[in-house]
Structure 1
């Protein structure tokens, strides 16, 4: 029906976007029934998403015949934006942006370079940027999930960790269970994505390849390669971010620096951790 009303693709897209936004706003309005108020945040997110994708569409149209350097610069900009987004979840953590930047860059970078080296990914902007952005986006999500899980677990078990430190445990040993759960949390959505691939969802890359005339079998195999690289990138990102967070969560003297921010709950404090509180940050009794 919309195609009959609008001759221009831009006007048609605007009408379709308006319909999608209207449905999303109705859903957020219904969320108020559950005492969840996300109307303003949803509206801002929808507006940002529409503006950002419109800009990306214009830029990609201008850069479709760009060089490998142009594609690399675009992907680097995406990594920086992804790091800024993920690091917002880690208030109170020193070097949060740098940790996210190094982690996402390592995970996405290794996966993209591997795909280029094995000729699974072409180096022109039209192919490299869309596929690379999928890997970067999933690395960002893995980074945010690992950071949030590690921080929440540590904050909830401050007393337990400080008690272990008081008894002479190494900082890495005192947070070992939380490291394991954080890395697994970063991998779980991607593992579920692989398990449901082809059964629950057919990715857009595969559909696009089939529409453009590629072999359906090859399109399916190629999409598996992309999702497998997403899993690899997410795993690398999760491991790197937790390794860096471990390093910055403790002082040089082995004291826990990661603390609850305003409004956060912390776990029960043990007698040993209360004793340790007299020797925080500078090693001097308060």
Structure 2
């Protein structure tokens, strides 16, 4: 009982100590410079009438606040039990769902489908690679590596939903005509599902093609700077990219297949796809 207050105070002290580090001044200057470059993009967007300045501005501010908040509590996360890693990653999956579902606004069941797809795709990869030893079973490793996998699954899910919604809207008349001729919904929708999956995987496929040639990813660069064997750093970076590809592919395929089954009524008619989320 005597030691309990001391144990409780340690994380708070570690948390406050982060804000006293002189290196934060350098970081704030760097943030200001990068912020000016970002503001330039927002200004160009406004000048050209792209109507993206609000979304860009909100994304920048939101991203800054969220990443600083995460960085400030990393020290606290390192003091909690391993079981909390699952809770934290689950919370990230929920957040990823709420962000990703906006790209599929108007599609029936988009929230449920997005969560199931992201949880299945990223969760399976995280569990499998942790069991294989590629991700160390500790909060220090599970949370940051897991967050990368979840974030990329979210982005790929967003691309798949956006492309699938576009396919449905652009080809509605053709789809309804094929249904009227007696074609089964699964056959009618299959090529649109495939188009969404292919489109969503283009960025990660291009990243794999350029890996080590056009760019050296951050994890590999960080490991080399930390003194790791460059060959091992390269191997581990490939493992990370393969995990991202695996999680993204599973997420995209699951999402597209599930959402494809939600766009038809029990009478095998195509549902309306509006601008708002439909459950």
Asked if the contact 2:109/2:259 (under 8 Å) is kept, the reply is no
Q: Distance in 1 between matches of 2:213 and 2:149?
A: 21
Aligned residues: 257
2:66 is aligned to 52
Q: What is the aligned-residue RMSD (CA, Å)? A: 1.7
- Give the secondary structure class of the aligned counterpart of 1:175: helix
1:281 is aligned to none
2:264 is aligned to 250
2:109 is aligned to 95
Asked if the contact 1:92/1:261 (under 8 Å) is kept, the reply is yes
Is it true that 1:66 corresponds to 2:80 in the alignment?
A: yes
Q: Distance in 2 between matches of 1:225 and 1:38?
A: 35
Asked if the contact 2:105/2:274 (under 8 Å) is kept, the reply is no
Is it true that 1:180 corresponds to 2:194 in the alignment?
A: yes
- Give the secondary structure class of the aligned counterpart of 1:88: helix
1:21 is aligned to 35
Q: Distance in 2 between matches of 1:136 and 1:108?
A: 6
2:7 is aligned to none
Gaps of 5+ in 1: 1-6, 263-286
User: Aligned runs of 1:162-201 on 2, under 5 Å?
Assistant: 162-201=176-215
> What TM-score comes out, normalization by structure 2 length?
0.88
Is it true that 1:108 corresponds to 2:141 in the alignment?
A: no
> What TM-score comes out, normalization by structure 1 length?
0.86
1:37 is aligned to 51
Q: Distance in 2 between matches of 1:155 and 1:130?
A: 38
Runs of 4 or more above 4 Å deviation? none
Q: 1:260 Cα deviation (Å)?
A: 4.4
2:11 is aligned to none
Q: Distance in 2 between matches of 1:164 and 1:182?
A: 20
Asked if the contact 2:101/2:110 (under 8 Å) is kept, the reply is yes
Distance 1:39 1:187, change over 3 A: closer
1:268 is aligned to none
Q: Distance in 2 between matches of 1:36 and 1:149?
A: 20
Asked if the contact 1:28/1:39 (under 8 Å) is kept, the reply is yes
Q: Distance in 2 between matches of 1:104 and 1:19?
A: 35
Greater shift in the superposed pair: 65-74 or 189-198: 65-74
Is it true that 1:120 corresponds to 2:134 in the alignment?
A: yes
Q: Distance in 2 between matches of 1:57 and 1:261?
A: 36
